[in-house]
């Protein structure tokens, strides 16, 4: 099975890039299943029913998210529906939505980190419990770990090496060069990167970001403009053993 995981989609530029690039990319690489992180797809922060629909229309099979998924209350009813969108599994009990789903023979799990972020439930112990709890889980299990600290991401990849097919980091919007298959057969990368404007500060308009840094005053941020880039990770997984056999970073640009 060949899985394509696409990094955080940033606003309208990111959605347009996905729409332009994903269909041909899926065909060229014979992709079986596509996972897209959607949590910044609405104006650079949050996701709405409309932006989620854009990503599904572009070819996403499952949408993952992170700490910004709650920015628009309209998304709550979608999270509670059967639509293929998930939020981090290790939020406290009672939160809208679900943290994993199984579709087309793939179990997709969304986790969020704690280091430099917030006091979420432990992602290590939470995923431990989930893997024990789900008895009918398929061999192919892909984890989107939405976290800030490199060390926490690497540690989670090592901890679940051999027990999940892939641990793919999101959140920082900066793709890392450590795509690899760990000793136990788990595909790993610290961060996939983003799908959004090249001339930006992690997807946001540079002028607004610089005002924040220079004045330390709050300024409304918006997605950057111009040429866009899609950062993605391609993983081949044996659908019998659940072990990854190949991992490759992809980077595609549009004008």
Query: Per-residue confidence of the chain (255 residues) as pLDDT tens digits?
Result: 999 999 999 999 999 999 999 999 999 999 999 999 999 999 889 999 999 999 999 999 999 999 999 999 999 999 999 999 999 999 999 999 999 999 999 999 999 999 999 999 999 999 999 999 999 999 999 999 999 999 999 999 999 999 999 999 999 999 999 999 999 999 999 999 999 999 888 988 899 899 999 999 987 778 888 899 999 999 999 999 999 999 999 999 986
Indicate the pairing of strand 106-112 with strand 100-103. antiparallel
Alpha helices in the chain (DSSP H): 11-28, 49-58, 75-79, 123-133, 150-159, 206-215
117 vs 171: CA distance, rounded Å? 11
pLDDT for 26: 97
How far lies 147's CA from each of 114, 167, 230, in Å?
A: 7, 12, 20
Pair type for strands 187-189 and 33-37: unpaired
pLDDT of 223 reads: 85
User: Could you write out the DSSP letters of every residue in 97-163?
Assistant: S-SEEEETTEEEEEEE--TTS--PPPHHHHHHHHHHH-TT--SEEEEEEE-S-HHHHHHHHHHTBTT
Whole-number pLDDT of residue 188? 98
Q: What is the pLDDT of residue 225?
A: 87
Q: What is the enclosing helix (H) or strand (E) of 236?
A: strand 228-237
- Distance in angstroms (rounded) separating the CA atoms of residues 199 and 201: 7
- First-last CA distance in the chain: 31
CB atoms within 10 A of CB 93: 5
Q: Which is the catalytic residue, given 68, 146, 171, 173? A: 68
Displacement of CA 246 from its chain's centroid (Å): 19
Domains of the chain in start order, with CATH, are: 2-198+228-254 (3.60.21.10)
What pLDDT score was predicted for residue 219? Answer: 77
Using the 8-state DSSP alphabet, how is residue 186 labeled? -
| pLDDT on residue 56 | 98
Read off the tokens for 148. Answer: 């800030």
Give yes or no: 68 in active site: yes
């Amino acid at each position: 099975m060949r899985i394509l995981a696409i990094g955080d989609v940033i606003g309208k530029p990111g959605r347009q890039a996905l729409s332009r690039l994903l269909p041909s990319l899926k065909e060229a690489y014979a992709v079986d299943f596509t996972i897209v992180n959607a949590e910044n797809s609405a104006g650079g922060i949050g996701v709405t029913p409309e932006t989620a629909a854009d990503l599904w229309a572009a070819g996403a099979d499952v949408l993952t998210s992170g700490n910004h998924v709650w920015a628009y209350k309209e998304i709550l009813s979608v999270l509670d529906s059967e639509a293929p969108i998930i939020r981090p599994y290790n939020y406290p009990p009672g939160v809208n939505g679900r943290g994993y789903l199984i579709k087309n023979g793939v179990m997709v799990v969304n986790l969020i980190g704690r280091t430099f972020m917030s006091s979420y439930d432990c992602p290590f112990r939470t995923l431990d419990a989930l893997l024990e709890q789900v008895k009918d889980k398929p061999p192919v299990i892909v984890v989107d770990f939405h976290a800030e600290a490199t060390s926490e991401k690497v540690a989670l990849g090592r901890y679940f090496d051999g027990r999940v097919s892939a641990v793919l980091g999101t959140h920082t919007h900066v793709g890392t060069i450590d795509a690899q298959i760990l000793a136990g057969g788990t595909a790993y990368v610290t961060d996939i990167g983003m799908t959004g404007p090249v001339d930006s500060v992690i997807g946001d308009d540079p002028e607004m970001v610089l005002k924040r840094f220079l004045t330390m005053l709050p300024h409304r941020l918006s997605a950057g403009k111009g040429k866009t880039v899609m950062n993605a990770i391609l993983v081949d997984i044996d659908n019998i053993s659940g072990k990854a056999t190949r991992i490759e970073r992809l980077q595609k640009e549009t004008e």
